[in-house]
Amino acid sequence: MELHFEMDEDPKNTRKEEVKNIRISEGIFMVRVENREEDSFRLKREIDQSLIQFYFATEGGASFLFNRGNYRLELEVEKSLLFYNPLMALPLDIEVKPHSKLVFLYITVENLHRLFVTGSEEIAFLNQENINQKFYTDRPITPMLALTVNQLFQDNIQGPARKVFEKAKAYEILALFFNKEEGKDVEQCPFLNDEDNVQRIREAKKILIEKMVSPPTLKELSREIGLNEYRLKEGFKNIYGKTVFQFLNDYRLDKARQLLESGKFKVNDAAYQIGYTNPSHFIAAFRKKFGVTPKKYLTGKSSAIHG
C-alpha cells in the first residue's frame, strides 16, 4: 500500500515543497504540510478504509470538504481530528489555510494493534466489540504533543538519520495521542502543567508577530506577559520547539519571502518592512535560512514560472 498527497493542480503553482510525503513503514504514512503563503491551497486524495486517520494543526488550520463541498469540517489551530471508517474509502478534500503547519498520520488497524499489544481493548476502535464501527473524535493538542508535531518541521537532521527521526516522531505522536492518563504527557516539563503559563507563552508569540518590525526585548516581553525571562525562554522552547529569537527570525524571513514573491517590493524594501535597518544583514540572514540570496531566490522563482 502506498499513500501520496499532491497539491491540487495549478499551472502557476510553484510551491510543491510545501507537501512532504513520508513513508514510515508498510501501512504507516505521514504527510507534513506547510503553507507560508497568504492564500489557501487544496489537497485531494482517496483514503483506503483500512487506515485510521489523524490530523494535527499547530499553526493555522484546514477545512475538510465533504459531499462536493456542501459540508465543511474545520481543523482549528492546536486541535486534532481522528477519522476511521472501515466500511468505505473516504475521498479526502482538504483546504489548507494560510500560514498553516499540519501533520497527517495514517496507520492500519493491524499496525496499531501491533503497537498496542497490551491494553488495545482500551482504545475504542481496537476493541473486538466495535469491529466495523465508524469513529470520529476531535480534541485539543496538548503542549507535549504540539512540541513533537512541531519538531517534524525542523530540518536540522538530514540523510539516513532523518528517516529514523521521522519514524520515532510518528510513534511518539501515537503514544502521546493515546496516552491514557490525562496530563501525563506534560510531565517532562512541569511548567506546562499550568494552563495559565501556556496561555502566557501563546500571548508572547502573538506579541512577537504583531510587533515583528520593532520587537520587544526578552525583558520587555517577559514583563508584558507576566513571566520571568527564564520561564519565558524555557516555556517558549518547549511549546514551539524554537527559541524566541529563532521563532522571530524565521517568521520575519518567511514574511520577507512573501513580500518579494508579491513583486511589489525590492530587496531593500522587503528588509525594512520586516524590521531590518541594514540590508546586508537581511541578505545574510535570508541566505542562511533559504540557501540563496534574495535576488537569486527571485531569479529562480521567475525561471520556474516562465521556463
pLDDT in tens, 31-59: 999 998 888 999 988 888 889 999 999 99
Q: Cell triple for residue 153?
A: 518541521
Which of 84, 86, 103, 119 shows the shortest CA–CA distance to 173? 103
pLDDT band at 183 (very low <50, low <70, confident <90, very high): very low
Specify the range with the lowest mean pLDDT, choosing from 7-11, 250-254, 287-291: 7-11
What is the Cα–Cα distance from 112 to 116, expressed in whole angstroms? Answer: 6
Is the pTM for the entire model greater than 0.85? no
The DSSP H or E segment spanning 96 is strand 90-96
Q: What's the pLDDT score for residue 291? A: 86
Pick the CATH number of 6-186 from 3.60.15.10, 2.70.98.40, 2.60.120.10, 3.40.50.300: 2.60.120.10
Domain boundaries, the chain: 6-186, 190-241, 246-306
- CB proximity list for 17: less than 8 A, separation 6 or greater: none
Query: Is there a contact between 200 and 226 (Cβ–Cβ < 8 Å)?
Result: yes
- Site of grid cell 495514517: 106
What pLDDT does 272 receive? Answer: 94
- Per-residue pLDDT band for 8 (boundaries 50, 70, 90) equals low
Domain pair 6-186 / 246-306, same fold: no
* Residue 258: C-alpha distances to residues 178, 203, 288 (Å): 38, 24, 17
> What CATH fold (topology level) applies to the domain 246-306?
Arc Repressor Mutant, subunit A (1.10.10)
Nearest-CA neighbor of 241 among 143, 175, 165, 116? Answer: 143
- The residue to which cell 522587503 is assigned: 270
Residue-wise pLDDT tens digits, 199-238: 888 899 999 999 999 999 999 999 999 999 988 998 888 7
Cβ within 8 Å of residue 251, ≥6 positions away: 208, 209, 212
**Phi (first) and psi of residue 286, to 5 degrees:** -65, -45
